[in-house]
Structure 1
């Protein structure tokens, strides 16, 4: 899932990724300079992260708060409604707590983050931690960003998870429209097959997406297409076999 421009959006949702928006959607992957604290509220028809629905295909809401600390260091928090997500043990909400270092020199920008994913209202061991780093540059009218996220081996995700993504975005000259495209891949080591399918149903897979954004003062409207190459027949646990294919997602994003 993609995200609107804001300081280091990681995954959407939750990390990032907490945002992601990027992300993809995180999150977007770009580290962008911001001095003042910021607050955003998002409404989407489906909360997609790395091609997977985290809200069981239902509409969801998300709030994101950004707080600079000193220099290039900042903290942020993101809360997402998960609608009793089957993927996350019936959790009603996901919370990302993020610490980030971000900097920029000329046309190059980079960031590193630690993201804690917390799932409220779910059953079982669900919380996990993830490390992210990203870099980007501007090539003429196009912004290009790469993101790498790594969750070391943890019981909650049945092993480790390694995600990498490339995203390109460009505005249409003379309009408030921005177009984005991304491609990502998820892989990792498996210790517990059931828990590993939470983030990688059927094993390693690719995801991709296209998005259009239309900015109208403090509101940005979005429509996105997202898909994966997950083979449904390879998924061993039917409860995790839904909401990973092609989808059109609409959203409205409010900045305060």
Structure 2
């Protein structure tokens, strides 16, 4: 969080200090661009599952891109309950990749390193990805695949939630991989600030609980989906959003995960059930 704030402050100071000459160069292509956002969401859902115990989350990110197509970035959010991964209730992602436009399609290849500050190393994992997107009129379509190779964070250290509650590892040191496939669609409504959006994803990984009783693919295999809308407020950097989020993880499928896989981790209240998520984001 401090790193992102310092970067944002530095960018702001530079823009003020060099405002006059920059205005003359605005129309020219810049070799390096810096962009980012900070936002508030009613809850943080990662692939359909709440990582903030169905509570509010503050999130922010920063991306530095070079005209060659290479980019680096970082993104973070507060966590609670299931999503803490034994850390300091925070997720910090480091991202690097390369993006290139070929014909009408944009290909994006990179990797995300999911970190949980002050947690143990075996809760962090890296996940390479590839995305292909294209735009037709106001509609943008994206298809992606992310594959995380075998790592301890993705293993099944606990066979059941009861084992996790008792603090008894059934298979410590286990490693596994994880596959995530997804498709996104967004359509801007002409002459308005409104964008309609949709998402569907498929997870396939290890059925079980990893270190600190968490899992990227909680039931081993499941679907998640989202449908919603964003509205950009004219004359401001603000966007408000609303989305309906759900998964096909039923109470029966998640029964063996309890009490870890529930709000408050008390065995009641699913964190993978349907929810309406609200957001307010400021871009810079």
TM-score (normalised: structure 2): 0.73
1:194 partnered with 2:209: yes
CA distance in 2, matches of 1:139, 1:86: 39
Q: Distance in 2 between matches of 1:182 and 1:254?
A: 22
Report if the CA contact (8 A) 2:33-2:66 is conserved: no
Partner of 2:158: none
Counterpart-to-counterpart distance in 1, 2:92 and 2:214:
21
| TM-fit CA distance, 1:207 | 0.6
Distance 1:35 1:214 in 2: 28
Kept after mapping to 2: 8 A contact 1:202/1:231: no
SS in 1 for 2:122: coil
Q: Secondary structure at the match of 2:216?
A: coil
Aligned to 2:153, the other structure's residue is in SS state helix
Uncovered stretches (5+) of structure 1, i.e. residues with no partner:
1-32
Pick one of 250, 256, 261 that aligns with 1:231. 250
Measured after TM superposition, the shift of residue 43 of structure 1 is: 0.8
User: Is the counterpart of residue 173 in structure 1 residue 190 in structure 2?
Assistant: yes
Cα distance in 2 for partners of 1:228, 1:200 equals: 12
CA contact (8 A) 1:131 1:149 kept: yes
Q: Distance in 1 between matches of 2:275 and 2:32?
A: 36
DSSP-derived class of the 1:240 partner: coil
Which residue does the alignment assign to 2:45?
Answer: 48
Distance in 1 separating the partners of 2:244 and 2:64: 31
Gaps of 5+ in 2: 1-29, 156-175, 263-269
Distance 2:81 2:238 in 1: 27
Aligned to 1:222: 241
Question: What SS does the corresponding residue of 2:33 show, helix, strand or coil?
Answer: coil
| TM-score normalised by the chain length of structure 1 | 0.80
Residues 197 and 206 (structure 1), Cα distance of their counterparts in 2 relative to 1, 3 Å cut: farther
Instruction: Tell me if structure 2 keeps the 8 A contact 1:198–1:240.
Output: no
Aligned to 1:8: none
Q: Which residue of 1 aligns with 2:141?
A: 144
Q: Does the C-alpha gap of structure 1 residues 228 and 198 become closer, same or farther in structure 2, counting only changes over 3 Å?
A: same
Which residue of 2 is the match for residue 240 of structure 1?
A: 261
Q: Which has the higher helix share?
A: 2
User: Would you say the 8 A contact 2:208–2:215 is kept in 1?
Assistant: no
Contact 1:202 1:232 in 2 (8 A): no
Larger Rg: 2
Q: Which has the higher strand share?
A: 1
* Distance (whole Å) between structure 2 residues aligned to residue 85 and residue 171 of structure 1: 36
How many pairs are equivalent? Answer: 221
Instruction: Work out the CA distance in 1 between the residues paired with 2:144 and 2:120.
Output: 30
Provide the aligned C-alpha RMSD in A.
2.0
The alpha-carbon deviation at position 69 of structure 1 amounts to 4.1
